[in-house]
Amino acid sequence: MTAWEELTISVIGTGYLGATHAACMAELGHRVIAVDVDEDKIAALSEGRLPFYEPGLSELVAKHVGSGALRFTTSFREVAPATIHFLCVGTPQRPRGDGADLSHLDSAVRSLAPFVTEKSLVVGKSTVPVGTADQVRARLRTLTGRPVEVAWNPEFLREGHAVADTVRPDRIVIGSVSAEADEAVRRCYGRITSENPDLPVVSTNYANAELVKTAANAFLATKLSFINVVADMCEAAGGDVAVVAEALGHDPRIGGQFLRAGLGFGGGCLPKDLRAFRDTAARLDVVAGADLLRQVDHVNNERRRHVVDLATEHCGGSVLGVRVAVLGAAFKPGSDDVRDSPALNVAASLHLRGAQVTVHDPQALSNARKEFPALDYAENLTDALTGASLALVLTEWEDYRGLDPAAVGALVERRVVLDARNALDRVRWTAAGWTVHTVGRSQQPHARRPHPPSPRGVGADQLGEPVGVG
């Protein structure tokens, strides 16, 4: 048996996780049947169209649909030839409470049960609370009347890097109760591990595999809230969180990633996984853990309020009737996802305070419109910025970093920008006549080596590569 034999696998659920996993499994040399109850989604995917923005994924889907290695269907019956079934359905936050809603998982298991045999392996990839794999195993036994092998194999992909994170993961974690199940999951990733023999593969029990995923996201969230608390301290003490974070990050025990202070985290994963982990801590009676994680969530939510307050302050105490240009709607750059987006949350809060808010985003406008139809949206930066008395940078897209401050200055009513992601080059913007407000940094920009201020002052015509607006 070669390390990367072709397997026939099924993927249940074709959202972010499932669509990516299905296409990447085909890329890794397997035959894949992906099933979802959403007919529109399946119709789009069958034509190689994605219902969301993810660089490189539509090409991969089209390639493998074209070659016949990947098939999308709404009929569960078609998963029957597969020996390994990956559960990739969503586990959103429950409408009431902080815990995860496992109803999609339960219905996926029910739909799958008639098609599993004694040779099948069911592999959970969805992010779930500890204890879920055992429940799925028990449920399958009840539904089929015989023992069914179950493994848990959490996914760590980031939006915007989903394909690379799946085909070049930094670790593979497999929770199982048998060596055969563990081996079968390893075979799915055979191509990856044979090309990268040093890749850590952690074979463990269900509880560890389940905990590592939620713990990873809760840890990242904690790191972000920590640096945002440091940002508050910098603001109060005249420090600069960007400098503090850079110096902190040189310590290999800390590491430089996830130390960008600003408006805090959002999206479809970090906030709900943090809350689910807090809920689990409370359920397990780990009171200090639940308290810590509640504070992490609280600090993060306060970021949004803080930025709304700063914007109000920079408009003289009221934003009523003030034209505000909001740059960014997606929860992070490189994504069209607006779920729990800090940027849209701030835009909507300013709107509720009476500001005339116009929102721009390079990718997320149509999702943003659906979420907050009452806001005004601009397809291009010129429309968003013209006549604005305050500009806010709320998502750190490269398009905004590269803006020419002089060209933007010619459009606005007042050259005042609140850079809530610390994305802009303050020296350049200040030199172009802008008042640049930041978060977690003293107002006096320290010139950094890559951009020394010229002794004569930096003119708009000396600003390097102007990207322009529009």
Q: Which of residues 180-239 bind ligand UDX (CB under 6 A)?
A: 217, 220, 224
Q: Which of 24, 88, 269, 315 is catalytic?
A: 269
Could you tell me the sign of the dihedral formed by the alpha carbons of 247, 251, 257, 259, in that order? negative
C-alpha 33 chain-centroid distance: 26
Of residues 99, 262, 362, 445, which one binds ligand UDX by CB under 6 A? Answer: 262
Of residues 111, 141, 156, 239, which one binds ligand UDX by CB under 6 A? Answer: 156
Region near ligand UDX per CB under 6 A, out of 32-40, 201-209, 258-266, 412-420: 258-266
- Rounded Cα gap, residues 246 and 242, in angstroms: 6
Q: Which of residues 394-433 bind ligand UDX (CB under 6 A)?
A: none
- Ramachandran bin of 245, using left for φ above 0, alpha for ψ from -120 to 50, beta for the remaining angles: alpha
Of residues 27, 54, 159, 235, which one binds ligand UDX by CB under 6 A? Answer: 159
Nearest distance in Å: CB 148, ligand UDX = 26
- Decide if residue 440 touches ligand UDX (CB under 6 A): no
- Decide if residue 367 touches ligand UDX (CB under 6 A): no
- Decide if residue 331 touches ligand UDX (CB under 6 A): yes
Q: Name the residue nearer to ligand UDX (CB basis): 137 or 437.
A: 437
Distances, alpha carbon 143 to alpha carbons 35, 76, 78, in Å: 20, 16, 19
Q: Name the residue nearer to ligand UDX (CB basis): 331 or 429.
A: 331
- Decide if residue 270 touches ligand UDX (CB under 6 A): yes
Q: Scan for tokens 């591990």, then name that residue.
A: 193
388 exposure class (CB count in 10 Å sphere: 0-12, 13-18, 19+): buried
315 is catalytic: no
- Rounded Cα gap, residues 169 and 157, in angstroms: 8
Nearest distance in Å: CB 318, ligand UDX = 28
Could you tell me the sign of the dihedral formed by the alpha carbons of 87, 89, 92, 94, in that order? negative
Region near ligand UDX per CB under 6 A, out of 128-136, 265-273, 358-366, 398-406: 265-273
Of residues 26, 88, 230, 259, which one binds ligand UDX by CB under 6 A? Answer: 259
- Decide if residue 272 touches ligand UDX (CB under 6 A): no
Strand order in the sheet with 376-377: 376-377, 356-360, 323-327, 390-393, 416-419, 435-438
Size of the site for ligand UDX (CB under 6 A): 19
Of residues 90, 129, 267, 362, which one binds ligand UDX by CB under 6 A? Answer: 267
C-alpha 95 chain-centroid distance: 20
Long-range CB contacts for residues 35-43, cutoff 8 Å, separation at least 24: 35/10, 35/11, 35/72, 35/73, 35/74, 35/75, 35/76, 35/78, 35/79, 36/12, 36/72, 36/74, 37/74, 37/111, 38/14, 38/74, 39/74, 41/14, 42/14, 42/72, 42/73, 42/74
Q: Name the residue nearer to ligand UDX (CB basis): 70 or 269.
A: 269
**Residue length of the chain:** 470
User: Which positions from 76 to 115 touch ligand UDX by CB under 6 A, shown as an x/- string?
Assistant: ----------------------------------------
Q: What are the residue numbers of the active site?
A: 269
User: Interface residues with ligand UDX (CB under 6 A)?
Assistant: 156-159, 217, 220, 224, 258-260, 262, 264-267, 269-270, 331-332
